[in-house]
């Protein structure tokens, strides 16, 4: 993908939190187990790239482009996690953790094969 693992993880987290209402830096920090300054730094980068909107220390909002990229990352994560669990029998916890890393480095070809795998 375009942003690297860390920033894609932030987008994915923002997408998940978006469904719960307002997104604040503290919510992102708590969910990702990172510091608020780390969140602020990441939000500034994502804002520069046009993926989020945020007033100074205000609520965070995904832009349309940010939401689309976040959905893509989240879809990859879910697909890989499900494949690891359903096809390989990996525990849910390990599948989720592994998918979090694999989603950023897997080739499009391999991902498509996983996505379209039929037993």
Q: Are residues 73 and 105 in the same domain?
A: yes
Say what the pLDDT of residue 119 is.
65
Question: Would you call 65 helix, strand, or coil by DSSP?
Answer: helix
| 8 Å CB contact between 42 and 54 | no
pLDDT digits (tens, 9 = 90+) for 21-40: 889 999 999 999 999 999 99
pLDDT digits (tens, 9 = 90+) for 1-22: 468 889 999 999 999 999 888 8
State the chain's mean pLDDT as an integer.
92
CATH of the domain at 92: 1.10.60.10
pTM here is: 0.86
Separation CA 17–CA 39 (nearest Å):
14
User: What percent of the chain has a predicted confidence (pLDDT) above 70?
Assistant: 97
Q: Are residues 56 and 8 in the same domain?
A: yes
Q: Which domain holds residue 106?
A: 68-113
36 belongs to a structural domain: yes
Query: How many domains is the chain built from?
Result: 2
Q: Are residues 55 and 91 in the same domain?
A: no
Separation CA 84–CA 105 (nearest Å):
16
């Amino acid at each position: 993908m375009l942003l690297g693992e860390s920033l894609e993880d932030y987008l994915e987290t923002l997408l998940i939190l978006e469904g719960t209402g307002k997104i604040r830096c503290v919510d992102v920090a708590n969910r990702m187990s990172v510091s608020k300054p780390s969140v602020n730094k990441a939000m500034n980068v994502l804002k520069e790239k046009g993926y989020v909107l945020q007033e100074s220390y205000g609520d965070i909002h995904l832009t349309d482009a940010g939401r689309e990229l976040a959905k893509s990352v989240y879809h990859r994560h879910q697909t890989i996690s499900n494949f690891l669990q359903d096809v390989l029998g990996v525990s849910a916890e390990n599948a989720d953790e592994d998918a979090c890393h694999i989603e950023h480095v897997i080739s499009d070809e391999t991902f498509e094969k996983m996505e379209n795998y039929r037993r």
